[in-house]
Amino acid sequence: MGKPLKRHPALVPLSKDHHFGLLLVWKIRMGLKRNTETRRILRYLEYFYQHHLEPHFQLEEQYVFSFLAKNDLMRKEVEKQHADLRLLVGKLLAQEDDARELLEEFAGVLEAHIRFEERKLFQHMQLELTEDELLEMKDRVDQIHEGTDENWQDQFWVK
């Protein structure tokens, strides 16, 4: 694969979401490093998942991936990754014991997923889709996308 393409404006809001997803990964890892009670981390994960991650997945699945053919290998891979992440979150939120290992696994899987979308999927979409398709995608994303806004009081990652 050659030099990365400049991110098309249609994908910029999603890349910004990905920044906050990587921040979630960092927060989980910092919380674990500081031996934070996993209950505190899980409360934040549940909040972030419900308000940011799941809406982001739905936006991508309904308004972004639909521009690729259903049998497109990259689309199939990223949809599988979304399903795997949803399962992991479900396991985490049902966890009654110490969830350290599962939180570490989730952080690694989410980071790999974001890197895949940023480095491979978005590049693939920019090469496969026409400018008109990308502009139509931008219109859809702009109408639906909400930025990440949070005011979480329990900053376990800094204390």
Write the DSSP string, 65-118: GGGS-TT-HHHHHHHHHHHHHHHHHHHHHH--S--HHHHHHHHHHHHHHHHHII
Distance between CA atoms of residues 72 and 120, nearest Å = 13
Is residue 103 domain-resident?
Answer: yes
Distance between CA atoms of residues 85 and 107, nearest Å = 10
Residue 3: the pLDDT is 66
Domain that holds residue 138: 12-144
Mean pLDDT over 62-79 rounds to 97
Is residue 91 domain-resident?
Answer: yes
Is residue 150 domain-resident?
Answer: no
Is residue 154 domain-resident?
Answer: no
Whole-number average pLDDT of the chain: 94
Is residue 115 domain-resident?
Answer: yes
Mean pLDDT over 133-151 rounds to 89
pLDDT, tens digit (0-9, with 9 covering 90-100), for 113-141: 999 999 999 999 999 999 999 999 999 99
Whole-angstrom Cα Rg for the chain: 16
Is residue 149 domain-resident?
Answer: no
Residue 149: the pLDDT is 72
Does residue 106 have a pLDDT over 60? Answer: yes
pLDDT, tens digit (0-9, with 9 covering 90-100), for 72-101: 999 999 999 999 999 999 999 998 788 999
Is residue 157 domain-resident?
Answer: no
- pLDDT > 70 in the chain, percent: 97
Distance between CA atoms of residues 114 and 52, nearest Å = 14
Please state the domain count of the chain. 1
Residue 110: the pLDDT is 99
Residue 57: the pLDDT is 98
Residue 47: the pLDDT is 95
Q: Please give the structure tokens belonging to residue 93.
A: 């939120």
- pLDDT > 90 in the chain, percent: 86
Residue 4: the pLDDT is 66
Is residue 1 domain-resident?
Answer: no
The reported pTM is 0.93
